[in-house]
Structure 1
Amino acid sequence: MAQAGPGQGPEQAAADERIGLADIVVTAQKRAEDVQSTPISIGVVTGRDIALKAQNNLDAVLRDVPSVEVQGLAQGAQLYIRGVGSSVDPGFADPSVALMVDGAYNGRTESVTSGSYDIDRVEVLRGPQGTLYGRNASGGSVNVITANPRLVEGVSGHLRGQLGNYDHRRIEGALNLGVNENLAFRVAGFREKRDGYVDDGSYNSDAWGLRAKALVRPADWLTLLFKADIFREKGLGANTVPVPGSAGNLTFPPPYFFSNFDPTIVGGPPFTGGVPIPRFPDGWEQRDPGNPWSNNPEHTPGSIDRKAETFQLQLDADLGFATLTVLPAYSRNRNFLQSSFLFGSILPGAGPTYTINSNYEAQAADTKYKSVEVRLASNGGGPFKYLLGFYYLKTDGGAPLNAQTITTNNGDTGSFDQQILPGSTIAGFGQLTYALTDRLRLTGGLRVSRDKNAQEYEVVVAGTSTGVQTYSSSQSSTQYKLGMEYDVADRSMLYAHVATGFKQGGIAATVPPISFKPEHLTSFEVGIKNRFWDNRIQLNLAAFHYHYKNYQFSVFQELPVGTSGATANFPVIKNAGSTDIQGAEMELDAAPWALGRIKASLTWLDAKYGDAVLPNSPFVNQGDFQLDGLRIQNAPKWAANIGVEQGVDLMDGVLTFGVNTHLSTGYHVSPEQYLPGAYQKGFSRTDLSVRYERGPWSLGAVLRNVEDKAQTTYVFPAYRRFVTAPRTFMVTAGLNF
């Protein structure tokens, strides 16, 4: 089946190649290349596959990509590639995997769960991409490329609709207007609503997005691409649900919850008999006991309100000997979250008031990114191929990330205000490839950058201020890549390289501030990419070893506040000692017979922490906990994907059946491995699909998570966790025109 290429809308990829695999062009190295000729490990999901599988957000798109784990968080999700990722709020530390949308960086985790529509392709670059992508790509990069206007006169586009359980409704479409061979416009959008799949209404969806692009070619050698993108989402957001096994073990949060509160007593003890009795001696009491998507009524959902806008321009000028690209971009992300994942909606002595109250802290983040990238990429087919570039990024934290009340462990109340100050990155980079022979090529890359960030804090406890404290950091880094590639045969390439990654250090949200060190990662990788049997079989293999210094992770810790002797609980970011990660990947893609497709992958990963001691948790009191030698979070030892599609000719159309299963061994979802529920057992997750395509029309149905099993994506103290979605189904209809 044909794959969508760059600049080609998903509606243009017709399934007219009945046998064999089509070539896919990617821009992973910031120039157009065939994916099988690009000497790095890459996973590609085409826009056509995204549309046919009804994958409505980036989270769904990435979950079955080899070596990728998606960790659910309060604000969006974090990505892990080959065990490298970050569970730290992006306000304090960069993500370890760079998310690029049409070449522009977005550091907010909410983007992972945002709407996915009118996509050309998604490229997943595994391994550090520090030379070309900078400080935030030590684990790799995810490049989302949306469909561009097409310079073909006339009107074309698509319209798609979905209906499913949980009252799921979605409509999306794209309209391409080709004015002439030098001017084209494209407008795309979506609207989605869905009830929550937890019985308290959380994890619902109420979102829309609109994107407009204009492609102008004022001269044969000059192309201008303008983009404006708007996204909105609101609703209840994520909520924690009980971890099984709390019965008889729930020593926290009681005495916050009581069973014998009598609201009719006035002027006396608020408890029948005057003695409080813990509310949950036998664990959290779910509405539907044993159902992983059932909550206890005391954990009323909070709310989210997310707004994002992006405006950018891409200028490409063909200078003959090279192509000059200038890419300025501006984006703004405003994110409001009100939640109480631990304490729920009851205050001490306040009775069963299952509402949002002062336990539900509000967090507001207003983040702006202003960037410009300038690149000069060589043209022609000589022995030298080069890329030179300059990059500048300015971030502005805008509104306070946190402005909330705190209660110290001796009962004092106060406020904690935090302000993310503007930061910046400036970098120069280059990559050169030289062909020694027709088959052997050598590559060298270098990036020199300087990063700055700053934050302000003030804590007021019992009327006494600690004063405004400012933390600033300026760090320089040099990243490099050395590699070779050798064409073993016409469609078989062997590659090997050593590459580095860097992630900036920073400050934890504590008083006084506690700094943490930057991460450094050195990767050694060897791989081979192959096409066999007249392009019917594609087999790619890769093996790698990472040497990791100062791996960053976050834990809760009880720390002093001010000089009064009071303490409070803070999330603290720490560094692990020298850490080694090694692994291997196999990816098979085959189209051996008419309308048939087989895709399979297998990943082995050995990822263990270096020396790191977790301080005693104020919620669990387990004492100091040594991580050295234990497996890194979100790093299963074995993971596999097996997918099969088969189409049959039917009534002048094609009826296609598909099945895909993801298999994983167990892994921890938090560095706090002692927390109940922190270990996700091995599992399988199977999706089924059927679709009928006839001319411009298509009808289909998708059934996800056939097993109807929940996986834990993150765990909190007090037997609370985030979970994946239950079994869902939807019917789809589409029209290409």
Structure 2
Amino acid sequence: MRKFLLSASVCAMMSAGTVHAQDIPATSGQTTDPAAAAESSDQDPTDGDIVVTAERRSTSLQRTPVAASVLTGEDLVRKGINGVEQLQFATPSLTVNTAGQGNAFNIRGIGKTEQSSSIGVGVITYRDGVATLPGYFQTEPYYDIASVEVLRGPQGTFAGGNATGGAVFITEQNPMTDAVGGYALAQYGNYNNIKLQGALNIPSGDTLAIRFAGNLEHRDTFYNVSGPWTGNPGDRRDYSARASILWQPTSQLRVLLKGDYNNINYGGIPAGRATDTGDPLDVANNAPLAGGDEFGRVVLNASYTTDGGVVLRSISGFQRGTTHVSSDADGTAASGTPANPAVNFRANITEEIWSQELNIVSPDTGPFTWVLGGFYQHDNIVIPANGGYIVDNTPNAINPLVFDTTLEGRNPKTALAGFGQVGYEITHGLQIQAGARWSRTTSANDAVARATLPFLANPILTLVQNDKTIDKKVNGKVALNWTVDRNNFLYAFVATGAKAGGLNGPNVNGITPRAFDAEDVTDYEVGYKGTFLDGRLRTQLGAYYSEYEKYQISIVDPATPSISSIFNVPGKTKLYGVELSAQGSFGPIRVDLATSVSNSKLGTFYAIDPRLGTGAALVCNPAMGPASARCIELTGSEQAYAPKFTLSAGAQYAIPLGERVTLTPRADYAHIASTFGSLFQNTALGDRLEARNIVNAQLTLATGDWSVAGFSTNLGDQHYVAAINGVRRLAGAPRQYGIRVSRSF
């Protein structure tokens, strides 16, 4: 699907399918204040079922054949999850590492390990039924959220080609027609962190309601920056707002319109040299840093339920985002030496997506159920002329002819799909499911790259690329589900998924674009879900084995050393492991646990580590090598960002102090084992990411509609390297603490 000269640039810039919204009507029992709800012991979370929407209908997590973790809005507040990065500390087999303004989001080692738009994401995120801008624009804060669902493993039938590793479904709070309500929240913490947040729900009769929500947050930088240029890199300024309208004139017709706006200024993201051994928050810098995202979306979800119980649903989405960045590409304060050239990267890129999905969903009653759907999406990336994409290399006395590169152009893509799933109850409690998805994707490239020397008025080389690729695939899933009784559920399934192929872009050497094939995965899973102690304890246990053929990976091509190219791993890449999670509620005590043990083995593959130098004359065939000091055999290597062990656990105890007054201490612990940020696993070059042990804690006093909480994230103040991006390393967040006051009304 992708073959970017254009995306080769987007990769450098970012380095510095659709699911329906949750159609569960809000009730008067729902709180509009996530902070207060998080600490109240009056409402038992096991009274209502945990719901997932992975199969276009709302189903119980305990009786759905999918490996999933579901967090409510209250869970997010309890666990200190304010955005995408914190999800990894509450979900098994998941890592999220911000590298520049993109992020490496990986489930079971599959997702996005290279910060390049020329390789598709393997984990796609959805907001209210619409697939978000892929790989980037993911840093909007979590506020006024109803639920976050993290699905592990290929989701090829319903989520399509960007979900070979999994999918994340985020559902924002919907308007409610029963009463005026809302909440207000104020927070202050170290690093001069100020947060103001709130929501207001306004009904108009029994058929119309409007909800407004907003989040404003300022935070000073975590970093100590030295070098020729410092500024205020790492300062964060977030402005987010949301409006939604629910119109339900009859019990059968429901129309929901939502609009989101986000303006996030990062102040630039500092990054040190990957080989540095000191504190990753101490960064040397020799180039101006800046960065910000401005993006929004509009989602229209309309559904009609016939007298026979069949749901007809339409989900329309429009999204537009603009990102700008200026980064120090060498990660040092050195000024233009041959060993450490001063390289400044600047970019300004816009992406726009239109999407439409139609669903027809059968009633849940009877032995036979079915879902039919169609999907279309048009995605266009635009790099404007005159500053859209620039790489400035500082000349020096030894190498005065270092050239700069610029790029402009557009990369339109389309996706067309039809999908369906049927289920049939063979005998009481024993069901077979079968689903399939046909998809057709296209990607076109209309771009111009130029190489220039600072002292020449005209480019020394101009390259034009006008290409188009078309890819067609059929994927699906077959599952056997056994509901032993109301408390015990077993499942086994085989599922497939695919990521489309395409063409790499040429670089300034004028090499003909190299094609790469589609990536295919076959996933085998078995699982057990049990409910115990009269519903007070829920457990989910699963095992998986996945084989990826022609696995796509981004490596610097020795024939075109100035850019990365996509290669297919010739042998089979294998992933396998076990995952366990549990949630318990015992009066004032709540506990949760999630853990995973996983392994990954790359298929037969040879590649050059570009950090050791590249050269067009060197022979290094991806399938045959030969192995040498520079042509490295990677066969059997573990995937990047694929820790062999993850563990998260949390507990809280609500201590009654009087009528409607409780004091609730809570602690959460997360361990992510050491892993590698690169397939080359060269510890000397900084590839090894040490284990993370993160403790979050909070103490909340709740009385009536008010709550006051003292909180800390990363209580032990572990300073760790979160991600490797080429020759640079990026730090994770240090200890943060503060006080939060909220009131519901």
Q: Please tell me the TM-score bracket, short chain as reference.
A: 0.7 to 0.9
Change (3 A) 1:293 1:348: closer
Structure 2 distance, partners of 1:441, 1:184, is 39
Change (3 A) 1:498 1:667: same
Which of 588, 600, 606 is the matching residue for 2:582? 588
CA shift at 1:173, angstroms? 0.4
Aligned pairs (5 A) from 1:445-484: 445-461=435-451, 463-484=459-480
Which of 583, 608, 614 is the matching residue for 1:615? 608
Which of 281, 295, 309 is the matching residue for 2:283? 295
Q: Which amino acid aligns with 1:481?
A: K
1:191-217 CA-to-partner distances (Å, cap 9, x unmatched) read 000001011343321011111000011
CA shift at 1:662, angstroms? 1.0
- 1:9–1:148 contact (8 Å) kept in structure 2: no
Which of 726, 736, 744 is the matching residue for 1:728? 736
Corresponding residue of 2:270 = 239
Q: Which amino acid aligns with 1:315?
A: A
1:600 aligns with 2:631: no
Corresponding residue of 1:165 = 190
Which of 694, 709, 720 is the matching residue for 2:718? 709
Q: Which amino acid aligns with 1:67?
A: S
Corresponding residue of 2:250 = 219
Structure 1 distance, partners of 2:313, 2:191, is 45
Aligned pairs (5 A) from 1:31-110: 31-89=57-115, 91-110=117-136
Corresponding residue of 2:672 = 664
1:548 aligns with 2:543: no
Change (3 A) 1:20 1:129: closer
Change (3 A) 1:203 1:518: farther
CA shift at 1:732, angstroms? 0.8
Structure 1 distance, partners of 2:714, 2:668, is 10
1:11 aligns with 2:33: yes
1:88-114 CA-to-partner distances (Å, cap 9, x unmatched) read 446323210011000101133333322
Which of 519, 541, 566 is the matching residue for 1:573? 566
Secondary structure of the equivalent of 1:51?
helix
CA shift at 1:559, angstroms? 4.2
Corresponding residue of 2:7 = none
- 2:83–2:142 contact (8 Å) kept in structure 1: yes
How many pairs are equivalent?
Answer: 676
CA shift at 1:304, angstroms? 0.8
Worse-matched range after superposition: 34-43 or 443-452: 34-43
Aligned pairs (5 A) from 1:550-565: 550-557=550-557, 559=559
Q: Which amino acid aligns with 2:504?
A: A
Corresponding residue of 2:319 = 331
Which of 626, 631, 634 is the matching residue for 1:624? 631
Change (3 A) 1:186 1:20: closer
1:558-587 CA-to-partner distances (Å, cap 9, x unmatched) read 545xxxxxxx52122222231111111111
Q: Which amino acid aligns with 1:87?
A: T
Corresponding residue of 2:329 = 341
Secondary structure of the equivalent of 2:678?
coil
Corresponding residue of 1:563 = none
Secondary structure of the equivalent of 1:109?
coil
Corresponding residue of 1:684 = 693
- 2:80–2:713 contact (8 Å) kept in structure 1: no
1:318 aligns with 2:326: no
1:140-184 CA-to-partner distances (Å, cap 9, x unmatched) read 1100000000011x4200111111110000011000001111000
Structure 2 distance, partners of 1:143, 1:158, is 24
Q: Which amino acid aligns with 1:337?
A: V
Q: Which amino acid aligns with 1:587?
A: S
Across the aligned residues of Structure 1 and Structure 2, the Cα RMSD in angstroms comes to: 2.5
Corresponding residue of 2:488 = 492
Structure 2 distance, partners of 1:572, 1:418, is 19
Change (3 A) 1:227 1:17: closer
- 2:612–2:630 contact (8 Å) kept in structure 1: no
Structure 2 distance, partners of 1:584, 1:120, is 28
- 2:137–2:321 contact (8 Å) kept in structure 1: no
Structure 1 distance, partners of 2:24, 2:738, is 27
Identical pairs, percent: 26
Aligned pairs (5 A) from 1:141-540: 141-152=167-178, 154-200=179-225, 201-243=232-274, 290-296=278-284, 298-299=285-286, 302-321=289-308, 322-342=310-330, 344=332, 347-348=335-336, 359-400=343-384, 403-405=389-391, 411-461=401-451, 463-511=459-507, 512=511, 513-540=513-540
Q: Which amino acid aligns with 2:319?
A: S
Structure 1 distance, partners of 2:185, 2:529, is 36
Structure ranking higher on relative contact order (CA contacts 8 Å, 6+ apart): 2
- 1:230–1:310 contact (8 Å) kept in structure 2: yes
CA shift at 1:686, angstroms? 1.2
1:590-616 CA-to-partner distances (Å, cap 9, x unmatched) read 22x321012112201011211121224
CA shift at 1:425, angstroms? 0.4
- 1:492–1:529 contact (8 Å) kept in structure 2: yes
Change (3 A) 1:52 1:6: farther
Worse-matched range after superposition: 59-68 or 11-20: 11-20
CA shift at 1:21, angstroms? 5.8
- 1:495–1:527 contact (8 Å) kept in structure 2: yes
Q: Which amino acid aligns with 2:527?
A: G
1:341-364 CA-to-partner distances (Å, cap 9, x unmatched) read 3155654389x9xxxx98322112
Corresponding residue of 2:641 = 634
Change (3 A) 1:70 1:367: same
| TM-score (norm. length: structure 1) | 0.87
- 2:537–2:584 contact (8 Å) kept in structure 1: yes
Structure 1 distance, partners of 2:192, 2:440, is 49
Question: After the TM superposition, which segments of 4 or more aligned residues of structure 1 sit over 6 Å from their partners?
Answer: none
Q: Which amino acid aligns with 1:28?
A: A
User: Unaligned stretches of 5+ in structure 2?
Assistant: 1-22, 226-231, 453-458, 615-628
- 1:227–1:311 contact (8 Å) kept in structure 2: yes
Secondary structure of the equivalent of 1:397?
strand
